[in-house]
Structure 1
């Protein structure tokens, strides 16, 4: 039976941790599977996140443990540091394209189909907005046997030209409250946001390389080898 948010919705912390694993698996594969430290850093990014959160290590670990019980995440073996991977597609029972859209909605909040297509560039390249809308429609019309609808189309916000979509993985959405809020990142040009995202990915990749080299040399991150000052 696929994951059913109507029976057991995700908490905001679980959604952020899960979506961050999904994002980093595609955008910085060198740092994936992820350590707890890297995961917390990704969860608490100031950009490409709505809302911005400040998860502690303990909160992220608690979310990981819960996601593991839901078969949405699992530990990777064979490394001195415990690392984590997501199991979203199989656990929820959706195709790759739908998983990408749901991951973006969990990370960035409600978005239009056009915004989702732009924001998905580094995850998956949709041919056009129509293909994005087709997968969103499919997620909205999901049958109860498969876990029910996973997205909802929000009423048009005042002054907005297009309607936004929201995910339902954390349970029912208050469409009235969400539709009156300002779109996330509405004041940031898409090109600038893409540049910031790329720089963050480069930093994350460098951090992963340093961590891997330290592990191979028997060093703690940024510390000297045992016995040396």
Structure 2
């Protein structure tokens, strides 16, 4: 694979993929919505605090250098929105995309954790299916895209990491303090908060656009 993304690029790309799969009604994302997604506390490891200017610059790099993001505009809207472009680069299945997305936004995980976390994006039958998909991502053309990490002392399952940022560094191999392999039933409180945050960010950006349009209208009358 001839691509290497930095941690911020991976976070932005992962959030674009995540929101397409988890909240399609709010996709593509405005810049404000994407900043909120990158900085949310749930479903993220590590938690980041990115400035809007940083996310905007990262989008530019993903669009121009890596061809992994696209800016789109809708009729009657002054607000630009953004979507990922993974499908034009690789022919991943939805199941593979869901696994990569979770590895982008959460870091290395066991097959059991991946199955639980992916359930909010795309249903996977069991840990065996996850393992099969991970092995497919090793043998895919232009791959490998993932790698199995050494077994941790006292742990039964070995974790997996993506290779879109190069080989995992030692500090990136540290797991989250708490993970759950239980499948959620319906939307969790955190997911409902995510949707509300996206709606607020969209409304804020729409309000800013309306204010700018009104200021321009007033100035035309001197």
TM-score (norm 2): 0.83
Q: Closer, same or farther in 2 for the Cα pair 1:187/1:42, shift >3 Å? A: same
- Equivalent of 1:19, from 14, 26, 32? 14
CA RMSD of aligned residues (A): 2.8
Name 2:195's counterpart in structure 1.
202
Query: In the TM superposition, what is the alpha-carbon distance from 1:205 to its structure 2 partner?
Result: 5.0
Spell out the pairing of 1:98-137 with structure 2 (5 A cutoff). 98-137=96-135
Number of residue pairs aligned between Structure 1 and Structure 2: 211
Instruction: Confirm or deny that 1:186 pairs with 2:178.
Output: yes
Residues 108 and 159, structure 2, Cα contact 8 Å, conserved in 1: yes
Query: In the TM superposition, what is the alpha-carbon distance from 1:93 to its structure 2 partner?
Result: 3.1
Matches of 2:179 and 2:100 in 1, distance apart? 23
Deviations 1:87-131 (A, max 9, x none): 113323322211111111000111111111111112100122211
Residues 72 and 88, structure 1, Cα contact 8 Å, conserved in 2: yes
Spell out the pairing of 1:24-103 with structure 2 (5 A cutoff). 24-69=19-64, 70-78=66-74, 79-103=77-101
- Equivalent of 1:153, from 136, 148, 154? 148
Matches of 1:188 and 1:120 in 2, distance apart? 12
Q: Closer, same or farther in 2 for the Cα pair 1:123/1:188, shift >3 Å? A: closer
4+ runs deviating over 3 angstroms: 176-179, 187-192, 208-216
Deviations 1:154-208 (A, max 9, x none): 111122121111000001123x5554x2x2252668559x724322233135426
Q: Closer, same or farther in 2 for the Cα pair 1:26/1:204, shift >3 Å? A: farther
Unmatched runs of 5 consecutive residues or more in structure 2:
none
Matches of 2:90 and 2:55 in 1, distance apart? 21
Unmatched runs of 5 consecutive residues or more in structure 1:
221-225
Deviations 1:13-68 (A, max 9, x none): 11000000111112222321111111011101112111111111111111111111
